[in-house]
């Protein structure tokens, strides 16, 4: 294993030692375990392709350039994700004095098209009606669906919620910083339909489950996003369309704006740290507005009537 000498000359670090120190630093900053795993995966992928990409700045820079050149065929989102994690890692190495400059500098982000999947409102109505609420799993899935469509909560956040995070009398749910993706807490209002569903779900939970997540499995165990998506996929197959857990969050965002919700309110509800991501939804609904304007503008109908009258006179 190639070793990298610190600039101050005090210590030699292996690649594994450096990655370990970096992940400990990110944990100290309060990032989620999921994010730590993402860092480990992307760094592992880079060094697996370029095990020789460890040494002085020139050596690492050469490996980085080849890494992104080899991935030139990748989708912009994938390219940008790789760039994001590597850039953060090497920035930390510069701060630690291990590298003189960041080798990812100069590798530009690629323009991404909005990756938002729409779900027809009729399909959502069919989905809500398909659950067998006489069974625990059917009731749980129904309530989880209602919560997501009502608040736009991230699947991972919803599946980590405990009963104590709900204020049913106040009709709200609190997403604590510990389970929020951005590590920023937020409190979201709930509609009576969602509150009633949560009450019913709480009433059928065995006391032996203790402090298990609200949306636990039939054995009282936590459920992850992948398992929830698989269940949604099965429901979708019965209805003849594809759907994932994150599709519901997208559906909430688009319908929220189309129903008159404000973009800043959507940003806070979704838990976005800035408007960059929220603007993707705004852009799509603005296109809706343009299409509706073209079809329904009074000027358009007036001009058409005038044209018809001219033709009649002629």
Query: pLDDT tens across 200-226, in order?
Result: 999 999 999 999 999 999 999 999 999
Per the domain annotation, does 257 fall within a domain?
Answer: yes
Q: Name which of 56, 25, 52, 22 is nearest 40 in CA terms.
A: 22
Q: Are 239 and 123 in contact (CB under 8 A)?
A: yes
Judgement on whether residues 39 and 167 belong to the same structural domain of the protein: no
Instruction: Report the percentage of the chain scoring pLDDT > 70.
Output: 84
- Mean pLDDT, residues 295-306 taken together: 64
Domain end position, chosen among 96, 129, 152: 96
Judgement on whether residues 127 and 34 belong to the same structural domain of the protein: no
Q: What pLDDT, on a 0 to 100 scale, did the predictor assign at position 308? A: 59
Judgement on whether residues 67 and 141 belong to the same structural domain of the protein: no
Residue 231 has pLDDT above 80, yes or no: yes
Q: Strand locations in 72-207, DSSP E?
A: 166-167, 172-175, 186-189
Judgement on whether residues 92 and 125 belong to the same structural domain of the protein: no
Q: What pLDDT, on a 0 to 100 scale, did the predictor assign at position 143? A: 97
Q: Name which of 152, 144, 119 is nearest 266 in CA terms.
A: 152
Per the domain annotation, does 75 fall within a domain?
Answer: yes
Residue 264 has pLDDT above 80, yes or no: yes
Judgement on whether residues 177 and 49 belong to the same structural domain of the protein: no
CA angle 190, 193, 195 (to 5 degrees): 55
Residue 3 has pLDDT above 90, yes or no: no
Domain end position, chosen among 96, 129, 162: 96
pTM of the model: 0.67
DSSP state of 164: G
Q: Are 181 and 157 in contact (CB under 8 A)?
A: yes
Residue 25: domain span? 15-96
- Better pLDDT: 30 or 280: 30
Q: How far apart are CA 239 and CA 233, in angstroms?
A: 10
User: pLDDT (tens digit, 9 = 90+) per residue, 5-60?
Assistant: 444 444 557 889 899 999 999 989 888 787 888 999 999 999 999 998 888 899 99
Judgement on whether residues 278 and 129 belong to the same structural domain of the protein: yes
- Mean pLDDT, residues 235-260 taken together: 89
Domain end position, chosen among 96, 130, 163: 96
Judgement on whether residues 164 and 261 belong to the same structural domain of the protein: yes
Per the domain annotation, does 296 fall within a domain?
Answer: no
Q: How far apart are CA 19 and CA 159, in angstroms?
A: 30
Q: What pLDDT, on a 0 to 100 scale, did the predictor assign at position 10? A: 45
CATH code, domain with 220? 1.10.443.10
Per the domain annotation, does 303 fall within a domain?
Answer: no
Q: What is the mean pLDDT of the chain?
A: 86
Residue 113 has pLDDT above 80, yes or no: no
Judgement on whether residues 40 and 172 belong to the same structural domain of the protein: no
Judgement on whether residues 37 and 90 belong to the same structural domain of the protein: yes
Judgement on whether residues 125 and 188 belong to the same structural domain of the protein: yes
Judgement on whether residues 53 and 133 belong to the same structural domain of the protein: no
User: pLDDT (tens digit, 9 = 90+) per residue, 76-87?
Assistant: 888 999 999 999
Residue 140 has pLDDT above 50, yes or no: yes
Per-residue pLDDT band for 280 (boundaries 50, 70, 90) equals: confident
- For the chain, how many structural domains are there in total? 2
Per-residue pLDDT band for 303 (boundaries 50, 70, 90) equals: low
- Better pLDDT: 196 or 27: 196
Per the domain annotation, does 114 fall within a domain?
Answer: no
Q: What pLDDT, on a 0 to 100 scale, did the predictor assign at position 6? A: 46
Q: What pLDDT, on a 0 to 100 scale, did the predictor assign at position 4? A: 46
Residue 193 has pLDDT above 90, yes or no: yes
Q: What pLDDT, on a 0 to 100 scale, did the predictor assign at position 52? A: 84
Per the domain annotation, does 292 fall within a domain?
Answer: no
Per the domain annotation, does 308 fall within a domain?
Answer: no
Per the domain annotation, does 128 fall within a domain?
Answer: yes
- As given in the structure block, the two tokens for residue 244 are 């994932």
Q: What pLDDT, on a 0 to 100 scale, did the predictor assign at position 135? A: 96
CATH code, domain with 74? 1.10.150
Judgement on whether residues 186 and 240 belong to the same structural domain of the protein: yes
């Amino acid at each position: 294993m190639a070793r990298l000498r610190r600039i101050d000359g005090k210590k030699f670090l292996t690649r594994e030692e450096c990655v370990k120190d970096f992940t400990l630093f990110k944990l100290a900053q309060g990032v989620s375990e999921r994010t730590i795993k993402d860092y480990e995966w992307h760094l592992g992928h880079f060094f697996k392709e370029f095990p020789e990409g460890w040494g002085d700045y020139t050596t690492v820079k050469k490996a980085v350039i080849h890494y992104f050149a080899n991935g030139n065929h990748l989708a912009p989102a994938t390219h940008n994700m790789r760039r994001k994690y590597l850039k953060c890692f090497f920035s930390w190495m510069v701060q630690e004095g291990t590298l003189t400059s960041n080798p990812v500098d100069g590798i530009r982000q690629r323009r991404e098209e909005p990756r938002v999947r729409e779900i027809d409102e009729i399909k959502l109505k069919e989905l809500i009606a398909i659950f067998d609420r006489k069974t625990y799993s059917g009731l749980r899935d129904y309530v989880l669906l209602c919560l997501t469509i009502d608040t736009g909560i991230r699947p991972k956040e919803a599946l980590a919620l405990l009963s104590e995070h709900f204020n049913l009398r106040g009709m709200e749910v609190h997403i604590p910083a510990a389970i929020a993706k951005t590590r920023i807490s937020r409190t979201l209002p709930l509609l009576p339909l969602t509150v009633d569903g949560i009450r019913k779900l709480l009433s059928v939970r065995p006391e032996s489950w203790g402090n298990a997540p609200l949306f636990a499995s039939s054995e009282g165990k936590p459920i992850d996003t992948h398992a929830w998506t698989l269940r949604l996929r099965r429901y979708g197959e019965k209805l003849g369309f594809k759907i994932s857990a994150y599709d519901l969050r997208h559906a909430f965002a688009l319908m929220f704006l189309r129903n008159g919700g404000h973009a800043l309110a959507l940003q806070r509800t979704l838990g976005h740290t800035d408007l960059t991501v929220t603007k993707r939804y705004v852009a799509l609904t603005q296109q809706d507005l343009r299409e509706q304007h073209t079809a329904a503008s009074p000027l358009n109908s007036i001009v058409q009537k005038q044209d018809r009258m001219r033709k009649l006179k002629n």
